[in-house]
Amino acid sequence: MLPINFETERLILRLFEQSDAKSVQQLAGHEEVARTTLSIPHPYPDGTAEAWIERTRNAAQNGDIFSFALIKKEDSLLIGCVSLRVSKADNQAEMAYWVGRPFWGLGFATEAAKRIVTFGFEDLQLNRIYAAAMTKNPASYKVMSKIGMQYKETLPKHIIKSEVYEDLVLYDLINPT
């Protein structure tokens, strides 16, 4: 199995553990976090984090999805998530991330995303990594731009979130090797 723990300047990135469930529910379930992500529900139902963690651990074993907890080195707090959903047939992956509301604007998503792109290209030997964000979440696609991803297109009314059609922006990065 591939290495599944990484360090950056301020973070440890590791697979989620069942002991993280309460923090996941609290952070991801915050209304502002859920409102600007594609698949996080609000309110965040009891038991959902535990089931999600189990699914992500199994998916990592299969090499399909790698979801990493963002752990602050200084105090061991779980502050968010960054993941790669791998399409083996196309040798590419979709990157996604969220950071708990108290940690917004501090560069943690950018720091984690940079490291996961390196993992995708160097360890997984992916050809392409792409990401999508709702147009109402410019902080998310600013992260994409900061790590070198290129804007591809805007997809009007592409998804439904809380019964509202939302526009998405797509960014990608091709393996430079």
For 71-122, the pLDDT digits (tens) are 999 999 999 999 999 999 999 999 999 999 999 999 999 999 999 999 999 9
Residue 18 burial (CB count, 10 A): 11
Mean pLDDT of 13-34: 94
pLDDT (tens digit per residue) in 111-124: 999 999 999 999 99
> What is the pLDDT at residue 40?
86
- Rounded to two decimals, the pTM is 0.94
69 phi, psi to nearest 5 deg: -75, 135
Q: Where are the beta strands (DSSP E) in the chain?
A: 5-7, 11-15, 65-72, 78-87, 92-99, 128-134, 150-161, 164-174
> What is the pLDDT at residue 152?
98
Beta strand 164-174 pairing with 150-161: antiparallel
> What is the pLDDT at residue 2?
54
pLDDT (tens digit per residue) in 26-80: 999 899 998 888 788 888 889 999 999 999 999 999 999 999 999 999 999 999 9
**Sign of the four-CA dihedral 15, 59, 145, 40:** negative
- Residue 3: pLDDT above 90? no
Task: Say if residues 81 and 69 touch (Cβ distance below 8 Å).
Answer: yes
SS3 34: helix
**pLDDT band at 173; cut points 50, 70, 90:** very high
**pLDDT band at 136; cut points 50, 70, 90:** very high
How many residues are there in the chain? 177
* CATH classification for the domain delimited by 5-127, as one of 3.40.50.720, 3.40.1410.10, 3.30.920.30, 3.40.630.30: 3.40.630.30
Domain segments of the chain as ranges: 5-127
> What distances in angstroms separate CA 124 from CA 7, 89, 128, one per listed residue?
17, 13, 11
